[in-house]
Amino acid sequence: MAEEARRSQGQDAVVIPIGTGGRPGRGSGSARPSSAARKLAPTAKGSAGPKPPRPGRTTSGGSATDSGEEKVADAPPEPRRTTSGGSATGSGEEKVAGTPPTGIPVGDWLAALTGAAHEVFGDDWERRAAELMAFVRRRLEGDYEVDDYGFDRELTERFFMAALRPIAEKWFRLEVRGLENIPADGGALVVSNHSGTVPLDGLMTMLAVHDHAHRFLRPLGADLVFKMPVVSSLARKGGATLACVEDAERMLSGGDLVGVWPEGFKGIGKPFSERYKLQRFGRGGFVSAALRTGVPIIPLSVVGAEEIYPLVGNVPSLARLLGVPYIPITPFFPWLGPLGMVPLPSKWILEFGEPIRTDSYDPAEAEDPMLVFNVTDQVRETIQHTLFDLLRERDGVFS
């Protein structure tokens, strides 16, 4: 018998009963074929009819669950499937014959779900699943904390970072260098070059700092970020705040690790032909904030972000109409539609440079424009030179 053959293969070769076991039907697992199917196959009518299984007889192959299961009549309905039962429909497992043949039994569904939970959450899936449920409940009841800037730590860690991680690791293959330059605690200002048409470099830097330095990078964003729906609330929840002197100083004196991209839209919106050429570094506001709070400035050079969306054109009139700094035209966008929005898989290198200390200066010297310009230039030069070094070093854009 086929059943014997299956058994001889051992416990591993378990056949999950899906379908009708060779009899006509819709393949829905229902033992009862549709009327149309019954007309097509009149010979099968007798054996597969809606005949209730007679008590006291073991029926094998009577219903869809014919994978070697013995159905014993009048046996108490024992919940035999334990959590470790996995996806096995237990060859040789006893089932109550009184159950009507309604497709895949509930037990199988449960087993499949437990199996899936094992796959998704690993061995301690019960605890993990309970945690997830608790998380969802807390979110729905509003029982979570945000800080003064609207930063939602839990959501950032569990959701934003988890969503960005595969992109960083699998798509851009982030290589992070100079992590020892990020202080373990206390305020510090990370200053980075900005590129890539869409500020993905900011998100990747946040992820890199979180995963490798175990701190949250608090980015400073342009006011356009906070004007746009959806983006504004996501930005605040992710820890961003407005790039203004007040917020920068408040965060730095509060001991946060603050990220700033002083090139702003000039940096991310520059044409592909000008890649890796640093634009003007704002008005040096970030330097005076660092001087006033006495925190170190950590220059960060990002290589690879320039190539993700090569900006070859712009529609200034439409951009003005929409109130955005530029409308990007890349070799793929908008020509390929949504497909053109997939970034090119360039290889990224993030190098954190040696901190530039500002605590030797007097806070009052932040009012000295010459000093501010000098420090700004020093930071800019450091980043530019590191960029050139990294470019010389890398083998190819996508390798």
Residues lying near other proteins in the complex (CB under 8 A) are found at: 139-150, 223-224, 226-233, 236-237, 241-242, 244, 246-247, 250
Give least dist CB 150 to other proteins, A.
5
Handedness of CA 317, 320, 326, 331 (dihedral sign): negative
**Residue that has been written with the tokens 């993905």 in this structure:** 200
Q: Please, which residue, 75 or 245, has the CB nearer to other proteins? A: 245
Q: Please, which residue, 59 or 232, has the CB nearer to other proteins? A: 232
Give least dist CB 218 to other proteins, A.
10
Give least dist CB 253 to other proteins, A.
11
Angle, CA 297 vertex, CA 393 and CA 197 arms, to 5°: 55
Q: Please, which residue, 126 or 148, has the CB nearer to other proteins? A: 148
At 120, phi and psi to the nearest 5? -80, -45
Q: Please, which residue, 26 or 137, has the CB nearer to other proteins? A: 137
Question: Pairing state of beta strands 297-303 and 349-352?
Answer: antiparallel
Q: How many residues in the chain?
A: 399
Q: Please, which residue, 93 or 247, has the CB nearer to other proteins? A: 247
Question: Pairing state of beta strands 217-221 and 297-303?
Answer: unpaired
Tally Cβ neighbours within 10 Å of residue 284.
22
Give least dist CB 151 to other proteins, A.
10
Q: Please, which residue, 38 or 139, has the CB nearer to other proteins? A: 139
Q: Please, which residue, 99 or 232, has the CB nearer to other proteins? A: 232
Contact 304, 172 (CB under 8 A): yes
Separation CA 340–CA 313 (nearest Å): 14
Give least dist CB 224 to other proteins, A.
8
Give least dist CB 251 to other proteins, A.
8
Nearest to 89 by CA among 22, 6, 24: 6
Give least dist CB 147 to other proteins, A.
8
**Residue that has been written with the tokens 């509060």 in this structure:** 254
Please name the amino acid found at residue 376.
Answer: T
Separation CA 151–CA 146 (nearest Å): 5
84 Cβ partners below 8 Å, 6+ apart? Answer: none
Q: How far is CA 92 from the centre of its chain?
A: 43
